[in-house]
Structure 1
Amino acid sequence: MKVIVEWTYKSKGTEMIFRSDEVLAEQAMRIAEDLERTGRTKQVQFIDRFDSSWTVKEMKSYLKGIETEPHHIVIYFDGGFDLTTKASGLGCVIYYEQSGKAYRLRKNAFIEGLASNNEAEYAALHLCLQELELLNVHHVPVRIIGDSRVVINHLTEEWPVMEQGLTGWADRIETKMKDLGIQPEYELVSRKANGEADRLAAQALNGIEITATIQIEKESK
């Protein structure tokens, strides 16, 4: 989760309110602790992307609570569709941290019965949400990254959902996210930047099934 640190500075009867840039919650806590050590900070609070305010005590409790649960979650999704066979390949990549370690989960699936590439893209995102549910992910922000302009713009309400088949997928995804308490942060990228999920979708279409989770090097904050 990313937050803004807001604090009140006091010195010789003067008080001023300052705000930081948006930073990760762990970094925000370190900043708050440094500010409090100066002895010139009257009040510190954190503001998240939903304009909710957190006290230092509440933020400490939150950070402690997520240590053993999946957090700092980023998912990449991609769907491939074969117009000739009407088959679809779904690709899903999930990066997350848990108990001080970082992981990457890769999953793909071959399915039939979809009508378009856009449906395959939605199905790929739904596959990612199913995997998050299996990881017991709940009530955390999740970065959702894909190269489907249709899916991203539909779910951010930039574009209306006109096709009936896609409306059903959008409703299903939004319901699943609500059930899990996920706070989505969408990001549209180029196909090249989504290469890992794209390869998984292509492998699924070629009959290559992949399900793997590995520990990776944790990025320094």
Structure 2
Amino acid sequence: MKVRIELDYKTPKGTETSFISDEMNPAHALLIVEDLEKTGRVKSVQFIDNQDSSWTMKDLKKFMQGIQTEPHNVTVYFDGGFDIGTKRSGLGCAIYYEQNGKSFRLRKNALVEELDTNNEAEYAAFHLALKELELLGVHHLPVTFIGDSQVVINQMNEEWPCYEEELNKWIDRIEGKLEALGIIPEYRLVPRKKNGEADQLASQALKNVDIMSTIEITK
């Protein structure tokens, strides 16, 4: 989740103005507001999240304390590839998240044989990522999903219609899982070169190289 700060400010001589910040990590937003409040010139402040819901400072602090022991600030990269020669599909996902004050990366791939097109493989990779999020215990949080498939991203964003029966089944399956987990999705389309990690995982699956790993990311 990201939030923007909206506050009213009053100078010692009584001049008042309002500020609206860019979106940022809630922890950073809290630090900035706490610093500003030390001046004694902040008249009122609220935090607005991605869904345009308003948070008080007290409520946002409580929320942040509550999620520290659970996976949060989750970003998912996914990719799927279909080999028309072998009729096999490689699926890959890389999940970045924070938990207990640390940063982690989970990588997972899979080889499947029941799909018929590259678009189905892309959706299956998305669904694979959702299953991993469920195993991680991610729930009732915003999650950013990043992929290079225009079909998947634009159809999930409802910017493109879907006329294919099999893809509609995948969309229903994915939306059902998102709803069950309480995940609020944000979709981001990137060029293939920006999705290299998930693409490599999918390619490794097609070569019968199984990947399942979680590491801590040190800065």
Shared topology, TM-score over 0.5?
yes
Partner residue, 1:143:
144
Partner residue, 2:127:
126
Alpha-carbon distance between aligned partners in 1 of 2:50 and 2:71, rounded to the nearest angstrom: 20
Alpha-carbon distance between aligned partners in 2 of 1:217 and 1:114, rounded to the nearest angstrom: 38
Q: Which amino acid aligns with 2:4?
A: I
Alpha-carbon displacement from aligned partner over 1:44-103 (angstroms, at most 9, x marks no partner) = 110011110000000000111111111111111010111122111100111111101111
Alpha-carbon distance between aligned partners in 1 of 2:119 and 2:139, rounded to the nearest angstrom: 27
Alpha-carbon distance between aligned partners in 2 of 1:211 and 1:10, rounded to the nearest angstrom: 54
The Cα of 1:137 is off from its aligned counterpart by 0.3
Q: Tell whether 2:81 aligns with 1:80.
A: yes
The Cα of 1:14 is off from its aligned counterpart by 4.6
Alpha-carbon distance between aligned partners in 2 of 1:102 and 1:23, rounded to the nearest angstrom: 17
Partner residue, 2:108:
107
Q: Which amino acid aligns with 2:204?
A: Q
CA RMSD of aligned residues (A): 1.2
Alpha-carbon distance between aligned partners in 1 of 2:54 and 2:60, rounded to the nearest angstrom: 10
Taking the TM superposition and a 5 Å limit, the aligned residue runs for 1:1-221 are 1-11=1-11, 12-218=13-219
| Aligned sequence identity (%) | 63
Alpha-carbon distance between aligned partners in 2 of 1:57 and 1:73, rounded to the nearest angstrom: 23
Structure 2 unmatched ranges of 5 or more: none
For the residue of structure 2 that corresponds to 1:22, the secondary structure is: coil
The Cα of 1:10 is off from its aligned counterpart by 2.6
Structure 1, 116-125 or 8-17: larger mean CA deviation = 8-17
For the residue of structure 2 that corresponds to 1:187, the secondary structure is: strand
Q: Which amino acid aligns with 1:192?
A: K
TM-score normalised by the chain length of structure 1 = 0.95
Q: Which amino acid aligns with 2:28?
A: Q
Alpha-carbon distance between aligned partners in 1 of 2:148 and 2:38, rounded to the nearest angstrom: 45
Q: Which amino acid aligns with 2:123?
A: Y
Alpha-carbon distance between aligned partners in 1 of 2:20 and 2:96, rounded to the nearest angstrom: 30
The Cα of 1:106 is off from its aligned counterpart by 0.7
The Cα of 1:15 is off from its aligned counterpart by 3.6
Structure 1 unmatched ranges of 5 or more: none
Alpha-carbon displacement from aligned partner over 1:128-182 (angstroms, at most 9, x marks no partner) = 0000000000111211111101000001111011111000101111111111111
For the residue of structure 2 that corresponds to 1:23, the secondary structure is: coil
The Cα of 1:17 is off from its aligned counterpart by 2.2
Structure 1 runs (4+) greater than 6 angstroms displaced? none
For the residue of structure 2 that corresponds to 1:198, the secondary structure is: helix
Structure 1, 95-104 or 119-128: larger mean CA deviation = 95-104
For the residue of structure 2 that corresponds to 1:57, the secondary structure is: helix
Q: Which amino acid aligns with 2:74?
A: I
TM-score normalised by the chain length of structure 2 = 0.96
Alpha-carbon distance between aligned partners in 2 of 1:119 and 1:162, rounded to the nearest angstrom: 13
